[in-house]
Amino acid sequence: MKRIHIGKETDIAEKRARVVRIGELEIAVFKLTSGELKAIENRCPHKGGKLSEGIVCDHHVFCPLHDWKISLQNGLVQAPDEGCVTAYQLEIDGQSGDVWLHLPKGQTIAS
């Protein structure tokens, strides 16, 4: 697993998203009202809508194009729609506030 520094916890406002680009990979990092951070691929599997522009409710984001509901926990689309996006593990350093993104082993990053 590759660990990539993506900023500080304070860089992301509550109930907002921050887009992180790593090569051609685009990831949306959300801060929930609980302060918890979640990261998923920044494209809806339906029509490619930017999930970072969607509305967050609980542990889900609603795609801004067609209102598909996607879990921020695992990237799964809620039925009756189907599909999924990649969910990424984050690590937060409690002392420095640094946020680290973990890329799955074998995932390549095109530059």
Q: Is 93 helix (H, G, I), strand (E, B) or coil?
A: coil
Domain that holds residue 42: 2-103
Count structural domains, the chain. Answer: 1
pLDDT at 106: 63
Per-residue burial over 65-85, b = 16 or more CB atoms within 10 Å of its CB, e = otherwise? eeebbbbbeebbbeeeeeeeb
pLDDT in tens, 55-108: 998 899 999 999 999 999 999 999 999 999 999 999 999 889 999 999 877 665
| CA pair distance 45, 14, nearest whole angstrom | 25
69: domain CATH number is 2.102.10.10
Report yes or no on 109 lying in a domain: no
3-state secondary structure of 53: helix
Name 56's Cβ contacts closer than 8 Å, sequence gap at least 6. Answer: 15, 17, 30, 32, 62, 72
With respect to residue 111, please indicate whether it lies within any of the assigned structural domains.
no
Residue 20 belongs to a domain:
yes
